Structures are given as structure tokens and as C-alpha cells.
């Protein structure tokens, strides 16, 4: 818990850009709603615009930019910034969602895999690549989120798109777990990258952990936990009263 507020005051209606570390299993909207509630409760503001600049899946953690007031107009600008992630792929198995949201559905041999093959395969993804988003995603198809079709096991066609991978570094290998760092463009699905990686190494892979560490020049180490933000607002409120 922080000991002193990082700011002496906030002007949430004029606009603030807030950096948060999204908790595991929270949706991005869970965090937005919590921030909105805390701002209303501790400032007395009855109506305030609050939005996030780039969704993180519930099973991912890390940097989420939240804008308030007039700064919500900057959301599109922040969404377009380059992003950095760290995390793990688990090799030799796949899941329908390409991560741990769903159960393992297939297993594949891994005895042919070597550290060199894994690292060299990562290099082949650097640059502009064609990628198909997961069916378990929030992409809209005919006005309906894709994951709603997927959960009902209804078949849908999702169009592929071009994304850019600027850096893809394998930072450690502890079979069957591979640790990575990726720098990529807006709209890149690391879950899809995990699945495509498994196909390319002639095995399987799914995303087993993910943390967003950077968005443009905004960094995770400069972010707040939601409880820290609450304590900051309490201290600022008490200071203004005393």
C-alpha cells in the first residue's frame, strides 16, 4: 500500500490518464467500473466519463490505461500505441480458446523440440503477419460478440488481419513451458500467436500466462493497484477536509 499520494489533487472531469495493473480474472470493464465507483464515492461527482484504452483478457494481468472526463477523447490515440507483453506458452497441448479459459482438447508430441528450434521459430513471426483472432474473443460478428457463438459451440467465420510483431524474444525454456517477450501492434492477439506458434513447430501450444508491460511510453512499473488508488483518494479527501 502506498504511503503518500502520488498526486496532490485530481481533476477527473477535466481529465486524468490513470495507469493500473489489472488484476487476474478481472475484466477490463470490472476495473473501469471500480474506478468510476471510487471516483464518485470519494469526490461526490455524480456523473463522470471513464473508459479504458485497450482490452486485456480476464486471465491476463498488467497495464491498463484508464481515462476520465474529457481525456476519454484520447482513448483512440492510446489504443493505437505499440504494446509489450511478457508471458508463457505451454507446448504440446491446445485449447479451443488458445488459453486457459477452456479445457485442453488435444495433445501432441514434443520430443522433437529443441531450444534452437523454438528460438528460431519465434524469429519467423517478426514483421507483418496474417493472424486470425480467436473465436473466444470480443470481436463482433453480425453485432454479436464472437465468444457468445463459441460458448454455444456455434460455428463462425472470423476474418484474418495483418498485425505487426516488432520483437519476439524467447527469454527462457523450461519444457513444456516457454517464456517470451513480445512487442507488437494494436490488435495483436497473443493467444492466436501461441496457437500459430504451436502449429509451426509441428506440435501444439496455448497461452498459459500473459502480462502487458508497456503501452507506448506508459509502463507497468508506473501503474497503481486498485486498492492503492482507493487509499490515495481517501488520503486526498481527508487532507481537503482537515
Domains contained in the chain, CATH given = 16-80+217-241 (3.30.2350.10), 83-215 (3.30.2350.10)
What residues form DSSP beta bridges with 174? 177
> Backbone phi, then psi, for 207, in 5-degree steps?
-80, 120
Using DSSP, state whether 31 is helix, strand or coil: helix
Cell numbers placing 195:
496457437
Pairing of strands 61-68, 205-215: parallel
Q: Is the pLDDT of residue 119 over 90?
A: yes
User: For residue 175, what pLDDT band results from cuts at 50, 70 and 90?
Assistant: very high
Q: Residue 237: what pLDDT?
A: 75
For 125, the grid coordinates are: 513471426
Structure confidence at residue 5 (pLDDT): 38
List the catalytic residues: 57
Output the pTM of the full model: 0.90
pLDDT at residue 29, rounded to an integer: 94
Q: For residues 41 and 187, give the distance between their C-alpha atoms in angstroms, rounded to a whole number.
A: 34
Average pLDDT over residues 160-166: 95
Instruction: Return the pLDDT at 183.
Output: 98
Over the stretch 5-46, which tens digit does the pLDDT of each residue have? 355 578 999 999 999 999 999 999 999 999 999 999 888 888
68 and 49 Cβ atoms separated by less than 8 Å: yes
Rounded Cα–Cα distance for residues 90 and 194 (Å):
9
pLDDT score at 2: 31
Indicate the helix (H) or strand (E) that contains 238: helix 226-241
Q: What is the pLDDT of residues 190-230, one digit of tens each?
A: 999 999 999 999 999 999 999 999 999 999 999 999 999 99
d(CA 52, CA 64) in angstroms, rounded, equals 7
Within 10 A of 115 (CB to CB), how many other CB atoms are there?
A: 12
Q: What angle do CA 193, 199, 202 make, to 5 degrees?
A: 145
User: Does 131 have pLDDT greater than 90?
Assistant: yes
Interatomic CA distance for residues 64 and 58, integer angstroms:
12
- In a 3-state reduction of DSSP, which class is residue 72? helix
Give the chain's radius of gyration (CA, Å).
Answer: 20
Amino acid at each position: 500500500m502506498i504511503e503518500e499520494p502520488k498526486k496532490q489533487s485530481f481533476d477527473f472531469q477535466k481529465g486524468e490518464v490513470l495507469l493500473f495493473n489489472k488484476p487476474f480474472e478481472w475484466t477490463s470493464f470490472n476495473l473501469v467500473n471500480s474506478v468510476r465507483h471510487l471516483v464518485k464515492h470519494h469526490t461526490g461527482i455524480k456523473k463522470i466519463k471513464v473508459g479504458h484504452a485497450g482490452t486485456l483478457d480476464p486471465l491476463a494481468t498488467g497495464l491498463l490505461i484508464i481515462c476520465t472526463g474529457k481525456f476519454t477523447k484520447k482513448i483512440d490515440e492510446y489504443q493505437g500505441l505499440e504494446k509489450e507483453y511478457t508471458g508463457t506458452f505451454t507446448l504440446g497441448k491446445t485449447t479451443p480458446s488458445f488459453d486457459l479459459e477452456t479445457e485442453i482438447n488435444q495433445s501432441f508430441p514434443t520430443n522433437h523440440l529443441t531450444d534452437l528450434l523454438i528460438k528460431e521459430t519465434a524469429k519467423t513471426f517478426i514483421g507483418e503477419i496474417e493472424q486470425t483472432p480467436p473465436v473466444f474473443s470480443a470481436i463482433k460478428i453480425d453485432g454479436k460478440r464472437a465468444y457468445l457463438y463459441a460458448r454455444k459451440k456455434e460455428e463462425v467465420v472470423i476474418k484474418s488481419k495483418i498485425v505487426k510483431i516488432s520483437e519476439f524474444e524467447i527469454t527462457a525454456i523450461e519444457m513444456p513451458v516457454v517464456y517470451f517477450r513480445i512487442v507488437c501492434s494494436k490488435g495483436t492477439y497473443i493467444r492466436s500467436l501461441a496457437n500459430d506458434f504451436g502449429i509451426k513447430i509441428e506440435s501444439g501450444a496455448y497461452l498459459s500466462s500473459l502480462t502487458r508491460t508497456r503501452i507506448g511510453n506508459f509502463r507497468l512499473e508506473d501503474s497503481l493497484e486498485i486498492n492503492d488508488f482507493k487509499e490515495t483518494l481517501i488520503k486526498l479527501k481527508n487532507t481537503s477536509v482537515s
